[in-house]
């Protein structure tokens, strides 16, 4: 708890009005890879408490749309349409499709993580399952040339998932932003230029 309270990114998030330190992960990756631009349709999977949606909405500057989805509640954010539900179930997915109104998606963001059970093999499998669901959605809804940023935990299934992403995107890169805690095995895979 003490480490969290004293964390530089936690303090900066509070100072700048971000809902979580995770905002700085997306800010850093976006500064490097220029993912977010006005006019885009952005889908934020696993959005609560909303820091990635905050960053995305700010970068779109009122031009475009951010549609966020999470199983947890999320307080409203200007410029963000929020759907509460489990991404693995049909009804929330149907609501997400309805919110898109047939518009092709430019960018899929997925910071989804499973509820941690403490059993490493179980948690890894659940995390991979969430990433695979996000990739399935991106493969179906991203427009050609679109991009996807997805959180993964290094371990069993990681290399196979990376190969799946390479089937869908021209290039796939690993990103480990400074705001990720050193001891965490989380990384982000960035797929750009979705293949037609």
Q: Per residue of the chain (196 residues), what is the pLDDT tens digit?
A: 555 556 889 999 999 999 999 999 999 999 999 999 999 999 999 999 999 999 999 999 999 999 999 999 999 999 999 999 998 899 999 999 999 999 999 999 999 988 878 888 888 889 999 999 999 999 999 999 999 999 999 889 999 999 999 999 999 999 999 998 877 889 999 999 999 9
Residues annotated catalytic, as ranges: 151
Does residue 17 lie in a domain region?
no
Q: Around Cβ 70, how many Cβ atoms within 10 Å?
A: 23
Does residue 59 lie in a domain region?
yes
The domain containing residue 151 runs over which residues?
A: 23-194
Does residue 74 lie in a domain region?
yes
Looking at the structure of the chain, the number of domains it has is 1
Does residue 46 lie in a domain region?
yes
Residue owning tokens 């990114």: 9
DSSP 144-183: EEEEEEEEEESSTTHHHHHHHHHHHEEEEEEE--TTS-TT
Does residue 4 lie in a domain region?
no
Whether pTM > 0.85 for this model: the answer is: yes
């Amino acid at each position: 708890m003490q480490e969290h309270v004293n964390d530089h990114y936690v303090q900066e998030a509070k100072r700048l009005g971000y809902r979580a330190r995770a905002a700085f992960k997306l800010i850093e990756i976006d500064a490097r890879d220029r993912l977010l631009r006005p006019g885009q349709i952005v889908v934020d999977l696993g959005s609560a408490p909303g820091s990635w949606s905050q960053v995305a909405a700010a970068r779109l500057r009122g031009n475009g749309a951010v549609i966020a989805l999470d199983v947890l509640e999320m307080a409203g954010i200007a410029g963000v349409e929020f759907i509460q539900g489990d991404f693995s179930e049909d009804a929330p997915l149907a609501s997400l499709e309805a919110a898109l109104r047939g518009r092709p998606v430019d960018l899929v963001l997925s910071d989804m993580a499973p509820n941690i059970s403490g059993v490493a093999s179980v948690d890894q499998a659940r995390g991979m399952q969430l990433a695979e669901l996000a990739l399935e959605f991106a493969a179906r809804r991203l427009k050609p040339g679109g991009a996807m940023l997805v959180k993964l935990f290094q371990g069993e299934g990681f290399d196979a998932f990376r190969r799946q992403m390479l089937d869908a995107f021209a290039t796939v890169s690993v990103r480990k932003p400074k705001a990720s805690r050193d001891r965490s095995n989380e990384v982000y895979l960035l797929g750009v230029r979705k293949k037609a």
